[in-house]
Amino acid sequence: METRSTGDDNMKKYFLLTYGCQMNELDSEKMAGILEENGWDSAEALDNADLVILNTCCVRAKAEDKVKGKLGQLKKLKLANPRLLIGIGGCMMQQDNVGEKFLQKFPFIDFIFGPHTMDRLNEIVEKSCTGRVLELEADRFDVPRLPIKRESSFRAWVSIIKGCENFCAYCIVPYVRGKEVSRPPAEIVAEVEEQIESGVKEVVLLGQNVNAYGRDTGKVDFGRLLKKVNQVPGLERLRFMTSHPRDFSLKLVDAISEMPRVCEHLHLPIQAGSNRILKKMNRGYTREDYLRLVEHIRNKIPGASITTDIIVGFPGETDEDFALTMDVVEKARFTSAFTFLYSPREGTPAANYSEQVPGEVKRERLNYLMKRQNQISLDYNQVLMGTVTEIMVEGPSKKDSEFYMGRTRTNRPVVFSGKAHPGCLQQVKLTDCNAHTLYGELQED
Ligand code: SAM
Ligand code: SF4
């Protein structure tokens, strides 16, 4: 995440670095909101900041390694400028004793906090001017409303539920994000209305398992919440993530098919295609349940894009189990997939399973899966060549500022020549593609 500066040289500057998922991106927007409400401005670069905060992730070892890799650079910055404040927050600090260990091991860190103490960020920063601070809490049962400095002028992430109680055998999230707590529906709708008022066109409802919304309160469930948000005037596009296939009912698919603002994109992490592995993962559904859900979506929401997450090399995964994952990939025909090597997480049940799959086997399976999925993604994109589609413009393309980019309702990125205002809806004729990106020409109004 990059934060824009107001350009006032007298203000103290912060720089935030975010690792991990959209939930962390949203948390960083909240941290920026808190800091800016308290007189801070964002720095253009790490080197000219007075305060640096890393918002960490611990879902896979790779994310942790990136954070550890950054610490060397921070140490040098602190040596060059002893007045620089350095803070580490996020999920990684929330793991058993990791926060304490970091403070002991890295004397150049001024403060440590976690997802449950983020609302006290300003006080934590102030306290750290006079001594090192460790501020962590085990869990929270309230979801304080915090100021948010949104990165996008046209898209708003809106958190609807915190925590996760699914305890998938591989996953660290329930241990660091705590119990599920749903935000009151009126508060969510009010936030969406405020955002629309300020020019936002697209809303993404966020939660580790959005389908669990309302389970803790026994009141408005996810389907009813979605209906309420779908009715907010001025909203162009509504998305949500992440959905748990076990809790995604066929009735919810029917309801969504009648909500015109809900985009035709569903992210449904399958994780594995073998029932034996799904059971060991504690996912609560079978491959048959999953494929039934996919079929229902295809019938009720024509043209829907279904994307997924797949973990390769979960402990005990045999060649036969992996073949079943590939079989689901063939049958479900995902538009795209996030594919991961299983990464043992200390404190989760799967980390102690004896049958860990050798790294080489995991990598081989992952390469095979990625290659096949890329072909399927490319096939989908090729079928669209020559058609005209609606995109929401996001801004200049990251790879080449000569071009602009936007997204289809099915969440595919489209790169096009010509300028257009972020947040506006445009028609684009699709002319070229690869597995991950569509290219097109802007159509005149
Ligand atoms: N709550 C969401 C769900 O249930 O799908 C996603 C949460 S997690 C941040 C995102 C993805 O990371 C998961 O869907 C899973 O595929 C992957 N993941 C989680 N733990 C992992 C692990 N230990 N090793 C590899 N991938 C993992
Ligand atoms: Fe992790 Fe499973 Fe919860 Fe998703 S549903 S956050 S994978 S425990």
Q: What is the DSSP letter of 108?
A: T
Distance (Å) from CA 341 to ligand 2 centroid: 16
Ligand 1 lined by 311 (C-beta under 6 Å): yes
Average pLDDT for 9-21: 91
Distance (Å) from CA 190 to ligand 1 centroid: 30
Beta strand pairing call for 155-159 and 202-206: parallel
Q: Report the Cα–Cα distance between both ends of the chain, in Å, rounded.
A: 33
Q: Round to whole Å and give the CA distance between 29 and 289.
A: 37
Distance (Å) from CA 177 to ligand 1 centroid: 13
Express each pLDDT in 340-358 by its tens digit.
Answer: 999 999 999 999 999 999 9
b/e 381-411 (16+ beta carbons within 10 angstroms → b): beebeeeebebbbbbebeeeeeebbbbbbbb
Percent of the chain whose pLDDT exceeds 70: 98
Beta-carbon contacts of 208 under 8 Å, excluding residues fewer than 6 positions away, are 23, 161, 163, 164, 166, 173, 177, 242
Distance (Å) from CA 282 to ligand 2 centroid: 10
Distance (Å) from CA 161 to ligand 1 centroid: 17
Q: What is the DSSP letter of 36?
A: H
Ligand lying closest to the C-alpha of residue 271: 1
Q: What is the DSSP letter of 17?
A: E
Express each pLDDT in 20-79 by its tens digit.
Answer: 999 999 999 999 999 999 999 999 999 999 999 999 999 999 999 999 999 999 999 999
Average pLDDT for 93-100: 94
Q: Round to whole Å and give the CA distance between 268 and 243.
A: 6
Can you tell me which atom of ligand 1 is nearest the CA of 23?
9
pLDDT of residue 167 exceeding 50: yes
Express each pLDDT in 209-236 by its tens digit.
Answer: 999 999 999 999 999 999 999 999 999 9
Ligand 1 lined by 342 (C-beta under 6 Å): yes
Ligand 1 lined by 340 (C-beta under 6 Å): yes
**340 in Cβ contact with 310 (< 8 Å):** yes
**283 in Cβ contact with 246 (< 8 Å):** yes
pLDDT of residue 120 exceeding 90: yes
Single pTM value for the model: 0.95
Ligand 1 lined by 50 (C-beta under 6 Å): no
Q: What is the pLDDT of residue 170?
A: 98
pLDDT of residue 146 exceeding 50: yes
Average pLDDT for 304-310: 98
Tokens 């159509």 label which residue?
A: 443
Q: What is the pLDDT of residue 4?
A: 46
Ligand lying closest to the C-alpha of residue 164: 2
pLDDT of residue 409 exceeding 70: yes
Distance (Å) from CA 209 to ligand 2 centroid: 7
pLDDT of residue 5 exceeding 70: no
Distance (Å) from CA 343 to ligand 1 centroid: 10
Q: What is the pLDDT of residue 402?
A: 87
Pocket test for ligand 2, best of 165, 209, 267, 285 (most atoms within 8 A of CB): 209
Q: Round to whole Å and give the CA distance between 346 and 302.
A: 42
Please give the structure tokens belonging to residue 379.
């096939």
Q: Round to whole Å and give the CA distance between 150 and 195.
A: 10
Give 176's pLDDT tier (boundaries 50, 70, 90).
very high
Distance (Å) from CA 58 to ligand 1 centroid: 10
Residue with the smallest CA separation from ligand 1 atom 8 is 59
Ligand lying closest to the C-alpha of residue 281: 2
Cβ < 6 Å from ligand 2: which residues?
164, 166-168, 171, 173-174, 208-209, 244
Distance (Å) from CA 172 to ligand 2 centroid: 8
**392 in Cβ contact with 425 (< 8 Å):** yes
Beta strand pairing call for 425-433 and 413-417: unpaired
Reduced to 3 states (helix: H, G, I; strand: E, B; else coil), residue 247 is helix
Beta strand pairing call for 133-135 and 111-113: parallel
Can you tell me which atom of ligand 2 is nearest the CA of 59?
1
Ligand 1 lined by 269 (C-beta under 6 Å): yes
Residue with the smallest CA separation from ligand 1 atom 11 is 309
